[in-house]
Amino acid sequence: MKFFYFTLFISLLSCSKSVEDKCFVEKMNNTDVIFVDDLKEKPYTVKQILDQKPKYLDIINLKKFRTFKKDSADSHFYTSSDSENMIRKQYVEFKEFKSKFSDQFVFYAKEQVGNVQYGLGKNNLGYWLLKIENNKADAYFLGLSFSHYYINKIQENPFIENGFLQLQGSLVKIIKVAGLPGYDDYSAMEDGKLFKIKINDLTKDSDNDGYNDIFENSFGLNPNNKDTDGDGVNDFEDMNPMFKSGKNKFTELYELLLPNYGTTDMKKMYYVFQVYESDCDYFHQIRPDVRVLFIPENKDKQTYYTKITDITDEYISKIKKDKEDPNRFYIQKFGNSYGNNYSADYEKGKWILKLGGGYII
Ligand SMILES: [Ca+2]
Ligand SMILES: [Ca+2]
Ligand SMILES: [Ca+2]
């Protein structure tokens, strides 16, 4: 997880901070330090993973299995020719899932049990069990971090059996490669694992809002309250389920920096989330066109899942005020392979954003 040295410095200084402290900075960050924090994080050992595994998960050692190496080689779809095959496979083999979930997941495996269709999906947040029953589609978050758990894309045995989800895979580690964001070194520590979860534990949705408890617990939503932020909109329908939206010039500034999905309506994309690490109230109060989740800057306040899983691929900084002009501000936006510095002028109730430099890797 990326955050900046100086942010860490500020959070060490004070526990309760004002909006002013949480949203504004005196000095803009040097873009060069963004990846440093990532690189010094040590991957977990097998023992650490097992010690902290979710309670609902059982891990069984298999005698016969596909290794991580073999499975990832067989299903490697990052080269251009394979990528075409992958897309074709997704369209043909996972037609029903594609029609129900569109592009919210990459689909791995499927299985029919009675009149229920099960599938395995993955997106930027992690792994999901997908279910289509009587034309109704649901997705249940597994809560198994891809930083620790690799689930074989090719499941040789039925993965739904006797009320259990049983997935073959490996325990893995990710090592970040300096200067090459996205080219993480992903390797197995122990192959031949069967990850076993009771379907009832997985599908449990205590507040009946549409997201399973495991999902809500993983990201800091309230699994016992349909409406975590109390804004009158249930978590499942809420584009910003963690915080009540507001409207002022700084929330508008943050909204301008959100990704643009063009004319695509993201309201029905219940499982697509953009995740930001921020403590800034103005940022929290945005009214986004795509679902957003926020991760606290302080590691101690993060959920276990978000602490160990690199799910943020975009960062928007705090705001810096201009020393002389009260209507001029500065803000930065980073991705895994770029950083942009903006100046923002507030004129006649509107923001004028100007790109003032940056970099692309
Ligand atoms: Ca729920
Ligand atoms: Ca809830
Ligand atoms: Ca709400």
Q: Quickly count helices (H) and strands (E) in the chain.
A: 12, 17
Query: Are residues 108 and 249 both part of a single domain?
Result: no
Give the pLDDT score at 6. 46
85 alpha carbon to ligand 2 midpoint, in Å?
38
Task: Count structural domains, the chain.
Answer: 2
Residues 198 and 245 in one domain: no
275 Cα–ligand 3 center, Å: 17
Alpha carbon distance 276, 240 (integer Å)? 12
310 inside domain: yes
Q: Give the closest ligand to the alpha carbon of residue 203.
A: 1
Residues above pLDDT 90, as percent of the chain: 73
54 and 195 inside one domain: yes
**What burial letters (b/e) apply to 320-331, b meaning 16+ CB within 10 Å?**
beeeeeeebbbb
Q: Report yes or no on 277 lying in a domain.
A: yes
Same domain for 81 and 18: no
Calculate how far, in angstroms, residue 211's C-alpha sits from the geometric centre of ligand 2: 7
**Residue-range definition of the domain harbouring residue 285:** 5-39+239-360
Find the ligand nearest to 215 CA: 1
Instruction: Report pTM.
Output: 0.90
47 and 186 share one domain: yes
| Tokens describing residue 249 | 């010039």
CA of 239 to the centre of ligand 3 (A): 8
- List, for residues 298-331, the tens digit of each pLDDT value: 999 999 999 999 899 899 999 999 999 999 999 9
Distance (angstroms) between ligand 1 centre and the Cα of 213 equals 5
Compute, in angstroms, the gap from residue 186 CA to the centroid of ligand 2: 33
AA identity, residue 87: I
Question: Are 295 and 269 in the same domain?
Answer: yes
Lowest mean pLDDT among 21-35, 63-77, 124-138: 21-35
Interval between CA 212 and ligand 1 midpoint (Å): 5
Same domain, 83 and 154: yes
214 touches 305 (CB < 8 A): no
Q: Establish if 124 belongs to a structural domain.
A: yes
Same domain as 334, residue 250: yes
Domain boundary among 177, 203, 229: 203
162 pLDDT band, cuts 50/70/90, is very high
Distance 143 CA to ligand 1 centre (A): 14
Band of pLDDT at residue 77, cut at 50, 70 and 90: low
Do 15 and 84 have their domain in common?
no
Model pLDDT for residues 22-66, shown as the tens digit of each residue: 999 998 876 554 544 555 678 999 999 999 999 999 999 999 999
Q: What is the mean pLDDT of residues 252-281?
A: 94
